[in-house]
Amino acid sequence: MKAKAAVLFEVGKRLELCDVDVAAPQAGEVLIRMAAGGVCHSDLHAMTGHLVASLPAILGHEGAGVVADVGSGVTSLKPGDHVIPLWRLSCGVCEFCSDGRPALCNAGLQVRMTGRFLDGTTRFSLSGREIKHFAGVSTFSEYSVVPEKAVLKIPDDLPLDKAALLGCAVITGYGAVVNCAKVKPGGSVVVFGAGGVGLNAIQGAAIAGAEKIIAVDLVPRKLEYARQFGATHVVNASDGDPVAAVRALTGGRGVDYAFEVIGLPKTMRQAYDCLAKRGVCVVVGVAPMAMEISVPVMTLVYEERVLTGSVYGSSRPAIDIPKLIALYRAGKLKLDELLTRTYPFREINEAYAALERGEVARSVVTF
Protein backbone atom coordinates (compact mmCIF):
# COMPACT_ATOMS: atom_id res chain seq x y z
CA MET A 1 0.00 0.00 0.00
CA LYS A 2 0.98 3.66 -0.37
CA ALA A 3 1.32 6.08 2.53
CA LYS A 4 2.30 9.72 2.86
CA ALA A 5 5.43 9.83 5.03
CA ALA A 6 8.06 12.36 6.18
CA VAL A 7 11.46 11.13 5.01
CA LEU A 8 14.88 12.43 6.07
CA PHE A 9 17.24 11.74 3.17
CA GLU A 10 20.33 13.55 4.44
CA VAL A 11 21.62 15.23 7.58
CA GLY A 12 21.11 18.98 7.38
CA LYS A 13 18.02 18.68 5.19
CA ARG A 14 14.39 19.15 6.17
CA LEU A 15 11.81 16.38 5.96
CA GLU A 16 10.36 15.53 2.56
CA LEU A 17 6.79 14.35 2.27
CA CYS A 18 6.79 11.30 -0.02
CA ASP A 19 4.31 8.63 -1.07
CA VAL A 20 6.19 5.57 0.17
CA ASP A 21 5.34 1.91 -0.32
CA VAL A 22 4.45 0.08 2.89
CA ALA A 23 4.71 -3.72 2.79
CA ALA A 24 2.18 -5.89 4.61
CA PRO A 25 3.06 -6.78 8.21
CA GLN A 26 5.00 -10.04 8.45
CA ALA A 27 4.85 -12.62 11.23
CA GLY A 28 4.87 -10.90 14.62
CA GLU A 29 4.30 -7.43 13.11
CA VAL A 30 1.47 -4.94 13.22
CA LEU A 31 0.31 -2.31 10.72
CA ILE A 32 -0.71 0.91 12.48
CA ARG A 33 -2.78 3.71 10.95
CA MET A 34 -1.19 6.63 12.71
CA ALA A 35 -3.51 9.25 14.21
CA ALA A 36 -0.91 11.62 15.67
CA GLY A 37 2.85 11.98 15.71
CA GLY A 38 4.67 13.91 18.46
CA VAL A 39 7.13 16.65 17.56
CA CYS A 40 10.09 15.75 19.79
CA HIS A 41 13.54 17.29 19.79
CA SER A 42 15.21 13.92 19.20
CA ASP A 43 13.95 13.91 15.58
CA LEU A 44 15.42 17.39 15.21
CA HIS A 45 18.70 16.01 16.60
CA ALA A 46 18.55 13.40 13.82
CA MET A 47 17.98 16.14 11.21
CA THR A 48 20.97 18.13 12.48
CA GLY A 49 23.14 15.02 12.85
CA HIS A 50 23.50 15.31 16.64
CA LEU A 51 21.81 11.96 16.87
CA VAL A 52 23.10 9.34 14.47
CA ALA A 53 20.37 7.77 12.35
CA SER A 54 20.60 5.35 9.46
CA LEU A 55 19.20 7.20 6.42
CA PRO A 56 17.05 7.63 4.44
CA ALA A 57 14.49 7.08 7.16
CA ILE A 58 10.94 7.99 8.03
CA LEU A 59 11.31 9.96 11.26
CA GLY A 60 8.99 10.21 14.26
CA HIS A 61 9.21 8.15 17.42
CA GLU A 62 6.29 9.50 19.45
CA GLY A 63 2.80 8.67 18.26
CA ALA A 64 -0.51 6.89 18.64
CA GLY A 65 -2.83 5.19 16.23
CA VAL A 66 -5.16 2.33 15.46
CA VAL A 67 -4.18 -1.19 14.41
CA ALA A 68 -5.13 -1.67 10.75
CA ASP A 69 -3.79 -5.18 10.18
CA VAL A 70 -1.71 -7.83 11.92
CA GLY A 71 0.77 -10.38 10.61
CA SER A 72 0.62 -14.09 11.36
CA GLY A 73 1.12 -15.18 14.93
CA VAL A 74 0.14 -11.83 16.46
CA THR A 75 -1.97 -12.61 19.50
CA SER A 76 -1.91 -9.53 21.72
CA LEU A 77 -3.43 -7.09 19.21
CA LYS A 78 -6.21 -7.00 16.63
CA PRO A 79 -7.45 -4.51 14.02
CA GLY A 80 -9.23 -1.61 15.69
CA ASP A 81 -7.11 -1.62 18.84
CA HIS A 82 -5.78 1.77 19.91
CA VAL A 83 -2.02 1.66 20.42
CA ILE A 84 1.17 3.52 21.20
CA PRO A 85 4.34 2.40 19.40
CA LEU A 86 7.31 2.05 21.75
CA TRP A 87 10.50 3.52 20.34
CA ARG A 88 12.79 1.03 21.97
CA LEU A 89 12.02 -2.54 20.97
CA SER A 90 12.77 -5.05 23.74
CA CYS A 91 13.18 -8.79 23.29
CA GLY A 92 11.68 -9.69 26.65
CA VAL A 93 14.20 -12.38 27.52
CA CYS A 94 17.71 -10.90 27.70
CA GLU A 95 19.59 -9.91 30.85
CA PHE A 96 18.30 -6.32 30.72
CA CYS A 97 14.70 -7.18 29.84
CA SER A 98 14.63 -9.77 32.62
CA ASP A 99 15.93 -7.14 35.02
CA GLY A 100 13.15 -4.65 34.22
CA ARG A 101 15.39 -2.48 32.02
CA PRO A 102 13.86 -3.00 28.56
CA ALA A 103 15.26 0.29 27.22
CA LEU A 104 18.75 -1.20 27.56
CA CYS A 105 17.90 -4.28 25.44
CA ASN A 106 20.47 -4.90 22.70
CA ALA A 107 17.75 -5.94 20.26
CA GLY A 108 16.27 -2.46 20.55
CA LEU A 109 19.68 -0.87 20.13
CA GLN A 110 20.26 -2.88 16.96
CA VAL A 111 16.97 -1.69 15.44
CA ARG A 112 17.76 1.87 16.52
CA MET A 113 21.23 1.88 14.96
CA THR A 114 20.37 0.05 11.71
CA GLY A 115 16.86 1.40 11.10
CA ARG A 116 15.95 -2.15 10.11
CA PHE A 117 13.96 -4.84 11.87
CA LEU A 118 15.81 -7.75 13.46
CA ASP A 119 15.62 -9.78 10.22
CA GLY A 120 17.72 -7.05 8.59
CA THR A 121 14.99 -5.73 6.29
CA THR A 122 12.54 -2.81 6.23
CA ARG A 123 8.86 -2.56 5.34
CA PHE A 124 9.21 0.86 3.68
CA SER A 125 10.50 1.62 0.20
CA LEU A 126 10.39 4.43 -2.34
CA SER A 127 10.66 3.55 -6.03
CA GLY A 128 12.34 0.30 -4.96
CA ARG A 129 14.85 2.06 -2.65
CA GLU A 130 14.98 0.89 0.95
CA ILE A 131 13.67 3.40 3.52
CA LYS A 132 14.58 2.89 7.20
CA HIS A 133 12.40 2.79 10.31
CA PHE A 134 13.65 5.59 12.61
CA ALA A 135 13.72 4.23 16.18
CA GLY A 136 11.90 1.19 14.80
CA VAL A 137 8.56 2.99 14.78
CA SER A 138 8.52 5.82 12.17
CA THR A 139 5.47 7.62 13.47
CA PHE A 140 5.62 10.33 10.75
CA SER A 141 3.81 8.10 8.28
CA GLU A 142 0.10 7.59 7.66
CA TYR A 143 0.80 3.87 8.02
CA SER A 144 3.71 2.21 9.81
CA VAL A 145 4.63 -1.43 10.40
CA VAL A 146 5.93 -2.07 13.92
CA PRO A 147 6.97 -5.32 15.66
CA GLU A 148 4.24 -6.52 18.04
CA LYS A 149 6.76 -6.39 20.91
CA ALA A 150 7.07 -2.63 20.39
CA VAL A 151 3.34 -1.87 20.41
CA LEU A 152 1.31 -1.14 23.53
CA LYS A 153 -2.49 -1.32 23.59
CA ILE A 154 -4.19 1.63 25.28
CA PRO A 155 -7.84 2.24 26.21
CA ASP A 156 -10.12 3.27 23.31
CA ASP A 157 -11.51 6.32 25.06
CA LEU A 158 -8.18 8.13 25.43
CA PRO A 159 -7.77 10.95 22.86
CA LEU A 160 -5.04 9.72 20.49
CA ASP A 161 -3.33 13.11 20.08
CA LYS A 162 -2.74 13.30 23.83
CA ALA A 163 -1.98 9.60 24.18
CA ALA A 164 0.85 10.08 21.66
CA LEU A 165 2.72 12.23 24.16
CA LEU A 166 2.88 9.39 26.66
CA GLY A 167 5.18 7.44 24.35
CA CYS A 168 8.15 9.80 24.63
CA ALA A 169 7.83 13.23 26.26
CA VAL A 170 5.90 12.08 29.30
CA ILE A 171 7.52 8.73 30.01
CA THR A 172 11.04 10.08 29.37
CA GLY A 173 10.77 13.13 31.63
CA TYR A 174 8.55 11.63 34.32
CA GLY A 175 10.50 8.37 34.33
CA ALA A 176 13.87 10.10 34.75
CA VAL A 177 12.51 11.60 37.98
CA VAL A 178 10.49 8.70 39.33
CA ASN A 179 12.31 5.59 38.02
CA CYS A 180 15.89 6.79 37.69
CA ALA A 181 16.47 9.43 40.40
CA LYS A 182 13.61 8.17 42.60
CA VAL A 183 12.93 11.68 43.87
CA LYS A 184 11.70 11.58 47.47
CA PRO A 185 8.98 13.75 49.05
CA GLY A 186 10.50 16.95 50.39
CA GLY A 187 13.48 16.82 48.03
CA SER A 188 14.81 19.76 46.06
CA VAL A 189 15.04 19.58 42.28
CA VAL A 190 16.39 21.62 39.38
CA VAL A 191 15.37 20.91 35.79
CA PHE A 192 17.43 22.44 32.97
CA GLY A 193 15.21 22.76 29.87
CA ALA A 194 11.46 23.27 30.19
CA GLY A 195 10.53 21.81 26.80
CA GLY A 196 8.26 18.86 26.06
CA VAL A 197 10.40 16.41 28.03
CA GLY A 198 11.59 18.79 30.76
CA LEU A 199 8.04 19.86 31.65
CA ASN A 200 7.33 16.21 32.39
CA ALA A 201 10.37 15.99 34.63
CA ILE A 202 8.93 19.04 36.42
CA GLN A 203 5.47 17.52 36.82
CA GLY A 204 7.05 14.20 37.81
CA ALA A 205 8.91 16.00 40.59
CA ALA A 206 5.68 17.70 41.69
CA ILE A 207 3.79 14.38 41.72
CA ALA A 208 6.69 12.77 43.65
CA GLY A 209 6.26 15.43 46.34
CA ALA A 210 9.44 17.46 45.81
CA GLU A 211 9.33 20.58 47.94
CA LYS A 212 11.42 22.91 45.81
CA ILE A 213 11.33 22.59 42.02
CA ILE A 214 13.50 25.05 40.10
CA ALA A 215 13.13 25.30 36.32
CA VAL A 216 15.91 26.78 34.17
CA ASP A 217 15.32 27.87 30.57
CA LEU A 218 16.14 30.76 28.24
CA VAL A 219 12.62 31.44 27.02
CA PRO A 220 10.15 33.31 29.30
CA ARG A 221 7.19 31.40 27.81
CA LYS A 222 8.84 28.08 28.78
CA LEU A 223 9.31 29.32 32.32
CA GLU A 224 5.59 30.17 32.46
CA TYR A 225 4.78 26.62 31.33
CA ALA A 226 7.20 25.36 33.98
CA ARG A 227 5.24 27.11 36.72
CA GLN A 228 2.02 25.64 35.35
CA PHE A 229 3.59 22.15 35.54
CA GLY A 230 4.68 22.57 39.16
CA ALA A 231 7.91 24.59 39.28
CA THR A 232 8.10 26.58 42.51
CA HIS A 233 10.92 28.80 41.21
CA VAL A 234 12.16 29.73 37.74
CA VAL A 235 15.55 30.92 36.53
CA ASN A 236 16.15 32.55 33.17
CA ALA A 237 19.66 31.44 32.23
CA SER A 238 20.06 34.46 29.97
CA ASP A 239 20.00 36.69 33.07
CA GLY A 240 23.30 35.33 34.40
CA ASP A 241 24.91 32.20 35.84
CA PRO A 242 22.07 29.71 36.50
CA VAL A 243 24.22 27.70 38.92
CA ALA A 244 24.67 30.74 41.17
CA ALA A 245 20.92 31.41 40.96
CA VAL A 246 20.05 27.82 41.94
CA ARG A 247 22.56 27.89 44.82
CA ALA A 248 21.05 31.18 46.02
CA LEU A 249 17.56 29.66 45.94
CA THR A 250 18.74 26.80 48.15
CA GLY A 251 20.58 28.92 50.69
CA GLY A 252 23.92 27.89 49.19
CA ARG A 253 23.31 24.19 49.82
CA GLY A 254 22.49 23.03 46.29
CA VAL A 255 19.77 20.62 45.20
CA ASP A 256 19.21 16.93 45.87
CA TYR A 257 18.39 16.17 42.23
CA ALA A 258 19.35 17.86 38.97
CA PHE A 259 18.03 16.96 35.51
CA GLU A 260 19.50 18.06 32.19
CA VAL A 261 16.81 17.91 29.53
CA ILE A 262 18.39 19.94 26.72
CA GLY A 263 21.35 18.04 25.29
CA LEU A 264 24.29 20.43 25.74
CA PRO A 265 27.56 19.59 27.55
CA LYS A 266 27.52 23.08 29.07
CA THR A 267 24.11 22.65 30.70
CA MET A 268 24.98 19.08 31.77
CA ARG A 269 27.92 20.50 33.72
CA GLN A 270 25.73 23.31 35.08
CA ALA A 271 23.18 20.76 36.30
CA TYR A 272 25.93 18.78 38.04
CA ASP A 273 27.31 21.97 39.61
CA CYS A 274 23.92 22.66 41.23
CA LEU A 275 24.08 19.50 43.36
CA ALA A 276 24.25 19.34 47.13
CA LYS A 277 26.35 16.66 48.83
CA ARG A 278 25.03 13.21 47.85
CA GLY A 279 23.02 14.87 45.09
CA VAL A 280 22.09 12.99 41.91
CA CYS A 281 22.42 14.50 38.43
CA VAL A 282 20.50 12.74 35.66
CA VAL A 283 21.30 13.54 32.03
CA VAL A 284 18.29 13.07 29.74
CA GLY A 285 19.24 15.36 26.83
CA VAL A 286 21.05 13.90 23.86
CA ALA A 287 24.34 15.54 22.86
CA PRO A 288 26.33 14.83 19.68
CA MET A 289 27.97 11.41 19.99
CA ALA A 290 31.56 12.62 20.23
CA MET A 291 30.84 15.16 22.99
CA GLU A 292 32.29 14.65 26.44
CA ILE A 293 31.69 16.29 29.78
CA SER A 294 34.00 16.49 32.76
CA VAL A 295 33.31 17.04 36.44
CA PRO A 296 35.63 17.74 39.41
CA VAL A 297 36.67 14.42 40.94
CA MET A 298 36.73 15.96 44.41
CA THR A 299 32.97 16.47 44.36
CA LEU A 300 32.37 12.89 43.24
CA VAL A 301 34.46 11.50 46.08
CA TYR A 302 34.20 13.89 49.00
CA GLU A 303 30.61 14.91 48.34
CA GLU A 304 29.45 11.51 47.09
CA ARG A 305 27.65 13.10 44.18
CA VAL A 306 26.17 10.87 41.48
CA LEU A 307 26.20 11.54 37.73
CA THR A 308 24.08 9.24 35.64
CA GLY A 309 21.91 9.15 32.53
CA SER A 310 18.40 7.97 31.81
CA VAL A 311 17.08 6.56 28.55
CA TYR A 312 13.34 6.27 27.88
CA GLY A 313 12.65 7.28 31.47
CA SER A 314 14.43 4.12 32.71
CA SER A 315 10.94 2.74 32.28
CA ARG A 316 9.02 -0.47 31.81
CA PRO A 317 6.50 1.01 29.36
CA ALA A 318 3.95 -1.78 29.71
CA ILE A 319 3.74 -1.03 33.43
CA ASP A 320 4.47 2.69 33.47
CA ILE A 321 2.20 3.90 30.65
CA PRO A 322 -0.99 2.46 32.22
CA LYS A 323 0.06 4.16 35.48
CA LEU A 324 0.50 7.46 33.62
CA ILE A 325 -2.95 7.04 32.08
CA ALA A 326 -4.40 6.49 35.57
CA LEU A 327 -2.65 9.65 36.82
CA TYR A 328 -4.08 11.59 33.86
CA ARG A 329 -7.58 10.31 34.53
CA ALA A 330 -7.21 11.24 38.21
CA GLY A 331 -6.39 14.82 37.17
CA LYS A 332 -2.83 14.57 38.48
CA LEU A 333 -0.88 14.34 35.20
CA LYS A 334 -1.16 17.32 32.86
CA LEU A 335 -1.54 16.05 29.31
CA ASP A 336 -4.13 18.48 27.96
CA GLU A 337 -1.95 21.41 29.01
CA LEU A 338 1.12 19.81 27.42
CA LEU A 339 -0.38 19.69 23.95
CA THR A 340 -0.21 23.36 23.06
CA ARG A 341 -0.42 23.10 19.26
CA THR A 342 -1.64 20.70 16.58
CA TYR A 343 -0.46 20.82 12.95
CA PRO A 344 -1.78 19.02 9.91
CA PHE A 345 0.83 16.44 8.83
CA ARG A 346 1.76 18.40 5.69
CA GLU A 347 3.04 21.23 7.94
CA ILE A 348 5.54 19.04 9.79
CA ASN A 349 8.55 21.22 8.90
CA GLU A 350 6.71 24.26 10.25
CA ALA A 351 6.03 22.28 13.44
CA TYR A 352 9.79 21.72 13.83
CA ALA A 353 10.54 25.36 13.09
CA ALA A 354 8.12 26.35 15.88
CA LEU A 355 9.87 23.89 18.24
CA GLU A 356 13.20 25.51 17.41
CA ARG A 357 11.72 28.95 18.04
CA GLY A 358 10.56 27.80 21.49
CA GLU A 359 6.90 28.50 20.79
CA VAL A 360 5.29 25.29 22.03
CA ALA A 361 5.26 23.07 25.11
CA ARG A 362 4.63 20.08 22.87
CA SER A 363 2.95 19.80 19.50
CA VAL A 364 1.72 16.92 17.38
CA VAL A 365 1.01 16.46 13.71
CA THR A 366 -2.29 14.78 12.92
CA PHE A 367 -3.07 12.63 9.88
105 or 214: CB nearest Zn ion: 105
- 286 touches Zn ion by CB under 5 A: no
- 91 touches Zn ion by CB under 5 A: yes
Assess whether the previous peptide bond of 56 is cis (omega < 30° from 0). yes
42 catalytic per annotation: yes
Pick what 325 binds: Zn ion, ligand APR, none; C-beta below 5 to 8 Å, kind-dependent.
none
Question: Which of 5, 29, 42, 314 touches Zn ion (CB under 5 A)?
Answer: 42
Question: Which of 165, 181, 281, 355 touches ligand APR (CB under 6 A)?
Answer: 355
Distances (CA, A) of 332 to 65, 174, 329, 336: 24, 12, 8, 11
180 catalytic per annotation: no
Q: What minimum distance in Å lies between the beta carbon of 287 and Zn ion?
A: 15
Q: Which of 42, 138, 144, 188 is catalytic?
A: 42
Please list every residue from 288 through 327 that binds ligand APR, using CB under 6 A.
none
40 catalytic per annotation: yes
Q: What minimum distance in Å lies between the beta carbon of 234 and Zn ion?
A: 23
- 230 touches ligand APR by CB under 6 A: no
194 or 335: CB nearest ligand APR: 194
45 catalytic per annotation: yes
168 catalytic per annotation: yes
- 192 touches ligand APR by CB under 6 A: yes
Site string (6-45) toward ligand APR, x via CB under 6 A: ----------------------------------xxx--x
Q: What minimum distance in Å lies between the beta carbon of 117 and ligand APR?
A: 23
For the chain, the distance separating the N- and C-terminal CA atoms, rounded to the nearest angstrom, is 16
- 222 touches ligand APR by CB under 6 A: yes
Question: Which of 191, 216, 255, 335 touches ligand APR (CB under 6 A)?
Answer: 216
- 40 touches Zn ion by CB under 5 A: yes
- 97 touches Zn ion by CB under 5 A: yes
What are the residue numbers of the active site?
Answer: 40, 42, 45, 61, 168
Q: Which residues bind ligand APR (CB under 6 A)?
A: 40-42, 45, 172, 192-198, 216-219, 222, 237, 261-264, 267, 284-286, 355, 358
Q: Which residues bind Zn ion (CB under 5 A)?
A: 40, 42, 90-91, 94, 97, 105, 168
